[in-house]
A = this chain, B = another copy of it.
């Protein structure tokens, strides 16, 4: 009677004669199948747990709801339970009477009992499994460690539901544990600095999605972001004053630990290191002076691997950082070293000859091995991007695969632990469905099961060329949730449609944690409209998205780290909801033959709004010069919507269009698929589909 959510039938096909059988079983086992016919009863769990068994009843929430913690958890559980209580009362308005929960305090008549066997440690491979058993009288959450209990509390909160009688939890039995032990989010705080509150709210978002590694890209050409007491000029000269103090770092690590999240610092070496050399030019491979890089791309400044003083510097630096960051891993970057400074430096060339180092790749490997010795001395393990993979390196390093699945395969075959990031780059503004389809263990690699064990997870990556504290959440959320589900849920959970259904819901719930991905769009639109009427601009922004992949970078190569990120492109979000809704309507129209009138009306309504929108937007553009750059997109929207309206008219009247109209329309549609102001229309494809439908009549 156990149903994993993925097997939930889309439409119940039970015949009535079967129903008796089911009712019988229900009565016997006091459980019922998840009734997928009734959408209100479909669960909103994300990531999907391993096993979910609905038992057909309800646990009613009221102000007497109290939680008791039993067993031997680590102290972090108490704050976590208090947060759960506050989130529960925040979402229901119920004045839960239970105060902050303290260790060893007994609770009278608890409605929920959380039992934990032992203290969890926030480290790789810690047990995160939990079982959640909701009956109509009591809720039991059991876990080996408090980290498992913390994962389970997120599931518990996602179960909250309401009917006209009040708030309730559906009774359910859940068994759950992660597919991969390494489920990360990387945030680049060098190219644009992200203040503490940005990091904290994203840690909350990660915890809600059961992610457990925060990979903190702390240094790059554009800024060095950690206070070093040994080398204060790193931030004094290399950060524009935008960095984390060690107290702030500790605060964030504690905050992450409280949520069962590891913090892995990345110091990118030997390339991507301009910001180090502003204060310490003596460790670069060419003479300074250096200044903080304002542009984006690959730059020449690189550590000098031929000088002993370089390693003395790095030894002292990593000694300090090893104490500051408790995780056993430190990320040393290692990517995109262009080797130009090395080629041009005679002493380095002589050094290579003397030590029989044939090329830059080997020189970097020499550097990495020296670094490894330093990290090992301070009881740390190394993780780095693809480029650090080399047969000389010991097997306890971790490779982060970013350039393709080849390196994933390569690492796993050679017996290196590896995590996948290729395909999980959130900054490329690709749809959630794209990331969702990428599995860290793709069948195409033909790895055997022993090799597959070396693939230990993945990380969504948020590079920050084009994001500010105001916009970054909208580039991470909700799409990172699709990656989180891929890394937690069973491999067989693959329904894109159901993923989006839950994603749109989770996206709203994430606002509860302070994430600004929805509300900041409204705010940016108000500003873009120069404080005038926002309707037309909102209509436009809801159907566009930023250009994808590296197009923005290519189109704006002179962009600097201080240019405005407040334009229409910044207010638009990747994978917007409305075009997905529209495409869904068009798709429904293809599927169904009967009862299409309702769908046709909805499509028509949207197309009418879009067609007329440009006229309205003109007024807004006149008072807000910032909007001029998207004028062509607005006109395109009007044009393609006109065509769409003609198409839907043919479909509504069940008429065949003449070939001339179809040809002409398709041609215009193709032409319309352009970009302006670094955004593109997202509704062109479904409108083309409408025309195809007319053609197929």
Contact = CB atoms under 8 A, between A and B. Distances in A.
A518 B521 CA distance: 12
A179 interface: no
A527 B91 contact: yes
B566 A622 contact: no
Nearest to A294: B99
Interface in A581-595: none
A562 interface: yes
Interface residues of A, number: 57
Interface in A48-103: 79, 86, 89-95, 99-100
A92 B625 contact: yes
Interface in A603-641: 622-626, 629
A573 to B, nearest CB: 15
A93 B626 contact: yes
B519 A523 contact: yes
A75 to B, nearest CB: 11
A162 B92 contact: no
A562 B508 CA distance: 23
Contacts of A165: 625
B197 A563 contact: no
A625 B100 CA distance: 25
Given A531-B505, A562-B86, A162 B624 contact: yes
A660 interface: no
- Between A90, A92, A162, A518, the greatest number of chain B beta carbons within 10 A of the residue's beta carbon is seen for A90
A234 to B, nearest CB: 17
A281 to B, nearest CB: 18
Given A564-B90, A564-B92, A511 B530 contact: no
A683 to B, nearest CB: 22
Interface string A516-531: 1011101100110011
Given A162-B530, A505-B531, A100 B562 contact: yes
Contact of A563 (B95, B240, B505, B623): B95
Contact of A197 (B86, B91, B195): B195
B241 A79 contact: yes
A3 interface: no
Contacts of A567: 93
B562 A166 contact: no
A555 to B, nearest CB: 13
A566 B164 contact: no
A345 interface: no
Contacts of A596: none
Contacts of A95: 560, 563-564
A28 interface: no
Contacts of A625: 92-93, 162, 164-167
A79 B241 CA distance: 10
A533 interface: no
Contacts of A509: 531
A406 interface: no
A316 to B, nearest CB: 23
A92 B245 CA distance: 33
Nearest to A627: B93
Given A92-B564, A518-B523, A519-B519, A164 B622 contact: yes
Nearest to A529: B508
A247 interface: yes
Interface in A286-322: 294
A565 B526 CA distance: 26
Contacts of A240: 100
15 contacts: A86-B562, A86-B564, A91-B527, A94-B564, A165-B625, A166-B625, A167-B625, A196-B196, A245-B251, A470-B514, A509-B531, A511-B526, A512-B527, A518-B526, A519-B519
Given A93-B566, A470-B514, A512-B527, 8 more contacts: A89-B566, A90-B566, A92-B564, A93-B629, A162-B623, A162-B624, A166-B625, A522-B522
The 7 A-B pairs of least Cβ separation, nearest first, read A93-B626, A197-B197, A519-B519, A89-B564, A247-B247, A90-B566, A508-B531
